[in-house]
Amino acid sequence: METGKYRSSLQEKLARFEQACRKAGLKLTHQRLAVYRELAAATDHPSAEMLHCRLKSSLPTISLDTVYRTLTTLEQYGLVRKVETIESQARYEAEMHGHHHLICSRCKKIIDFHWPDFDEIPLPEGLGDFGRIRNRSVVLSGICRRCLEKKADA
Amino acid sequence: METGKYRSSLQEKLARFEQACRKAGLKLTHQRLAVYRELAAATDHPSAEMLHCRLKSSLPTISLDTVYRTLTTLEQYGLVRKVETIESQARYEAEMHGHHHLICSRCKKIIDFHWPDFDEIPLPEGLGDFGRIRNRSVVLSGICRRCLEKKADA
DNA sequence: CTATGTGCAAAGCGTTTGCGACGGT
DNA sequence: ACCGTCGCAAACGCTTTGCACATAG
């Protein structure tokens, strides 16, 4: 997944993050920054546990609870997004722009993709009665190449 | 939500269900039939607990575990579908044809809708590299009218 | 009759919370 | 110095599992 183009740079994200925290009155703790940086740098939609695991090497005292709490907090402030999944473990991402997800039903890998053609088509009529629609996202599911190959082994 | 048209009749579904069970070597127990019938009759994507609650009146001895187990089994055989949600509680549906979901982020109500224009547009290029794509579904989220009105109270 | 499915109770897992200590601002 | 945040451990809610009994085929 290339940087640039759609994804903004890590520096930009961090800068925006710091600004947003200040504006929201959230303290800029080492832990929060670390959690955010790790998530912003990741492209694999890590879970709280995955993030905690990665963070321990650079910040050995950070606790899993803090990661949970931080993610929950950041999500409330719209700085981070929970990915729609039917898994028991929630998965997160720092990319907030409109994009969609392709999930391998076997290994649960999540791939981001953009789909401008979809973003443009109007919603079906009649949905306006529902109320206010905020977000539209596509979830594709299937089996990734790697898993298809593994299946051959079995 | 009208019966007919898109949704097939309850009888049809039940008939197909019995056939599928037989083919799969699944025993047709009262409980399984009841769980399936209740789910097929529902339009609100109930959770396991909701289903259990409704079933108790007609089948007072059925246990919550059985509902869980049945739903898991049926899902494995493709007779029932788990709805993509970020909630902690899984939600189910018996409708297996292509349709999409609109979720109220406040009250968690799920609305089905059809969107032929979407179903027709081709997937973005480059996704073919992923592997095999089985399912494409749209998840819209927003706030339903009822919740918007309630907000006025607060 | 035999293999599967059920009910019960207890464990499992991801996540949240209460509390005292710590550290930004 | 103060309030927000952290780490720890214990609680929580949804779901799964082990075991003995019941039941469909």
pLDDT at residue B29 in the model? 96
Question: Confidence class of residue A5 from pLDDT cuts 50, 70 and 90?
Answer: very low
Distance B27 CA to D20 C1' (A): 20
Distance CA A41, CA A55 (A): 12
Mean pLDDT of A23-39: 92
Size of interface A-B (CB pairs under 8 A): 119
Q: Is B125 on the interface with A (CB under 8 A)?
A: no
pLDDT digits 0-9 by tens, B58-98:
999 999 999 999 999 999 888 998 988 878 899 999 887 88
Contact residues on chain A for B102, CB-CB shorter than 8 A? 127, 130, 133
pLDDT at residue A17 in the model? 92
pLDDT at residue B53 in the model? 96
Rg of chain A on CA atoms, in Å: 17
DSSP 8-class letter at B56:
H
Residue B94's contacts (CB-CB under 8 Å, 6 or more residues apart) are B13, B36, B39, B40, B42, B79, B80, B81
- pTM assigned to the model: 0.81
Distance CA A110, CA A101 (A): 6
Write the single-letter amino acid at B123: L
CA quadruple B44, B48, B50, B56: dihedral, nearest 10: 130
Parts of chain B with a pLDDT under 50: 1-5, 152-154
Q: Is B86 on the interface with A (CB under 8 A)?
A: yes
pLDDT at residue B5 in the model? 47
Mean pLDDT of A22-26: 89
Distance A26 CA to D4 C1' (A): 8
Q: How far is CA B77 from CA B10, B20, B74, B99, B111, in A?
A: 19, 9, 5, 19, 24
Does position A151 have pLDDT exceeding 70, yes or no? no
pLDDT at residue A4 in the model? 39
pLDDT at residue B47 in the model? 95
pLDDT at residue B150 in the model? 67
Q: How far is CA B17 from CA A119, B44, B46, B129, in A?
A: 37, 20, 19, 35
Task: Give the pair of three-digit tokens for residue B34.
Answer: 């009841």
